[in-house]
Amino acid sequence: MTVALKAETVGQKVAQAFPTAIITADKEAIIVPPDSLFQVAHFLKNTPEFDFDYLTSLTAVDYLDYFEVIYHLTSLRYDHSLVLKTRCYERERPTVPSVVSLWQGADLQEREVYDLMGIIFPGHPNLKRIFLWEGFPGHPLRRDYL
Amino acid sequence: MPLKTEPIVLNIGPQHPSSHGLFRLRLTLDGEVVTDLELVLGYLHRGIEKLAEGRTYAQNIPLTDRLDYLASMTNNFAYVLAVEKLAGIKVPERAEYLRVIMAELMRLTSHLAFIGFLLNELGAYFTPLFYMFRDREKILDLFEMVCGQRLTYNYMRLGGVSHDIPEEFIPAVKRLLNEMPRFTDEYEQLISGNEILLARTKGVGILSRDKAINASASGPVLRASGVKWDIRKVDPYSVYDRLDFEVPVGSVGDVYDRYWVRVQEMRQSVRILKQAIEQLPKGEIRSEVPHLLRPPQSEAYGRIEAPKGELGFYLVSDNSIAPYRFHIRPPALINLTALRDMVIGWKLADAVVIFGSLDTVLGEVDR
């Protein structure tokens, strides 16, 4: 039975490891700012206690005030899971570091988020539109599209 | 003196029998050997995630039928499961069993189609496919009996299923379950030991265990690489925790293992179905759910083990009648992530087989 780790407990441990980053946790997820996302993801993947070796799903939601990128992480060894989120308040060029170098499974999913939501992932090896063609105006999954 | 050679770029598709839909593989070849691969997707993109934001929760069920159109029942299943998690809806026990029965029948049809098409790609043109479709037909007849449809069922409802099964359904399923092991033996006799199949699939397109995990592969692709990971076991939903079955696991992660795992899964599905039919309780098939459902402001991720892998729905509700965000985690798309690493270094003819062994359905990839 996959156990969802308590976000508050994990959040405290992450905050201890990264004292300068502003890390918050609610009931479901830990939320980190985009500029420390990669370090936190690296920490969660490589700390033996967590061992999040499997990125289940990566997606984004447009809340108009900000974009939220959601990572569902799973550890196949311990059979536990965690939701990691980051919020991006920039609308013109929202930027979130790519996690492809940690989990290759993010490759096509980050391209999809870029294509449909317009979030840029620096560090992605091949950040191109995936479903729509180059030159398509706008990013249709944004709530203010049309 | 060595001959001077130049790499050539070859497009397979978008219209090609081995592309399983509209899809383009852009291969760079050195002679016959693949040196690079690029996926060109989007020919079937219908914007389902955007469409769903303008429809009510119940109206979105038929949209999910159009994702993996060889396994529509399981798509329905994953979606209603996510909405029920979001809104806290209870499902009657009989409906849970009916859902499991439909999902396992669907797994049988999906794996049958997979084996048929894989053999097609190996050059055994259409004869094996028609063997498989002979049996798939019988299962489609069962679905038609239940909901009147053969491809897009729209059978599951929020809080249950749309129709109870007719009287003749259970005897027909029992007949099928008696025949199915014999059919599976027949395929294995014809296929599993076939020298041509072994030569073309053993050791071809190996996906290592670590690579499979890192590339978020799921379902039979992940299990063929030796990872014992099945959502039905690790995160049981519906009534799977009451049913007894094994999770077949491959050892090498080659094309043959991906074929073998699916054949074994068919045997396990028959086992699950026998128990589910035995345990099927009487009672309601649907709980009362408001026509215009307004789930509380929250988010939920519901997932199931679909025939192709982990199918998940990530839903965000803003307490209105339509989902604020409707995201599908498509196993077929994510399983394609590692294709490039699997194909490089193999010959063109093998590339087609390796792609076929992932069991990609483009309706789900492009959405």
Nearest partner of B57 among B321, B287, B302, judged by Cα: B321
CA distance B77 to chain A (A): 18
The rounded percent of chain A whose pLDDT value lies above 90 is 36
Report chain A's mean pLDDT, rounded to a whole number: 87
Q: Kindly list the residues from chain B whose CB atom is less than 8 angstroms away from the CB atom of residue A107.
A: 215, 337
Q: What is the pLDDT of residues B17-48, one digit of tens each?
A: 666 778 888 899 988 899 999 888 888 899 89
A12, pLDDT greater than 80:
no
Cross-strand pairs, B302: B313
The pLDDT value recorded for residue B24 is 87
Task: Kindly report the length of chain B.
Answer: 367
Instruction: Report CA-CA distances (Å) from B80 to A140, B51, B66, B150, B307.
Output: 25, 17, 15, 20, 17
Averaged pLDDT for residues A136-145: 89
The pLDDT value recorded for residue B19 is 64
Averaged pLDDT for residues B330-340: 91
CA distance B278 to chain A (A): 25
The pLDDT value recorded for residue B258 is 92
User: Which superfamily does B8-366 belong to?
Assistant: Cytochrome-c3 Hydrogenase, chain B (1.10.645.10)
The pLDDT value recorded for residue B82 is 92
**Of the partner residues B42, B236, B303, the one whose CB lies closest to the CB of residue A1:** B236
CA–CA gap between residue B104 and residue B307 (Å, rounded): 9
Cβ distance of B211 and A104 shorter than 8 Å? yes
Scanning every residue of chain A, which has its alpha carbon at the shortest distance from the alpha carbon of B301?
A72
The rounded percent of chain A whose pLDDT value lies above 70 is 100
B334, pLDDT greater than 80:
yes
Q: What is the pLDDT of residues B303-312, one digit of tens each?
A: 999 999 999 9
Other CB atoms within 10 A of residue B40 CB? 14
- A63 or B15, which is more confident: A63
Q: Kindly list the residues from chain B whose CB atom is less than 8 angstroms away from the CB atom of residue A106.
A: 216
Q: What is the pLDDT of residues B254-305, one digit of tens each?
A: 999 999 999 999 999 999 999 999 999 988 888 888 888 889 898 899 999 9
The pLDDT value recorded for residue B327 is 93
B240 reaches A (C-beta below 8 A):
no
ipTM of the complex: 0.89
CA–CA gap between residue B53 and residue B55 (Å, rounded): 6
Q: Kindly list the residues from chain A whose CB atom is less than 8 angstroms away from the CB atom of residue B312.
A: 56-57, 72
What is the enclosing helix (H) or strand (E) of B147? helix B127-147
Q: Which domains does chain A have, with CATH numbers?
A: 3-91 (3.30.460.80)
A15, pLDDT greater than 80:
no
The pLDDT value recorded for residue A146 is 75
Burial B64-85 (b: 16+ CB within 10 A, else e): bbbbbebbbbbbbbbbbbbbbb
Cβ distance of B41 and A116 shorter than 8 Å? no
CA distance A35 to chain B (A): 23
Instruction: Report CA-CA distances (Å) from B300 to B18, B292, B329, B351.
Output: 36, 19, 13, 38
The pLDDT value recorded for residue B224 is 92
* The model's pTM: 0.90
Nearest partner of A64 among A34, A94, A84, A109, judged by Cα: A94
The pLDDT value recorded for residue B17 is 67
Instruction: Report CA-CA distances (Å) from B190 to B36, B186, B196, B249, B277.
Output: 34, 6, 11, 22, 30
The pLDDT value recorded for residue A48 is 86
A20, pLDDT greater than 80:
no
Cross-strand pairs, B34: B29
| Residue from B36, B214, B365 to probe the interface with A (highest A Cβ count within 10 Å) | B214
**Could you tell me the sign of the dihedral formed by the alpha carbons of B141, B146, B150, B155, in that order?**
negative
The distance of Cα B246 from the centroid of its chain, to the nearest Å, equals 18
Structure tokens that stand for B238 in this block: 């519906």
CA–CA gap between residue B339 and residue B206 (Å, rounded): 10
Q: How confident is the model at residue B197 (pLDDT cuts 50, 70, 90)?
A: confident
The pLDDT value recorded for residue B18 is 66
Averaged pLDDT for residues B152-173: 90
The pLDDT value recorded for residue B213 is 92
End-to-end CA distance of chain A: 43
B80, pLDDT greater than 90:
yes
Domain ranges of chain B: 8-366
The rounded percent of chain B whose pLDDT value lies above 70 is 99
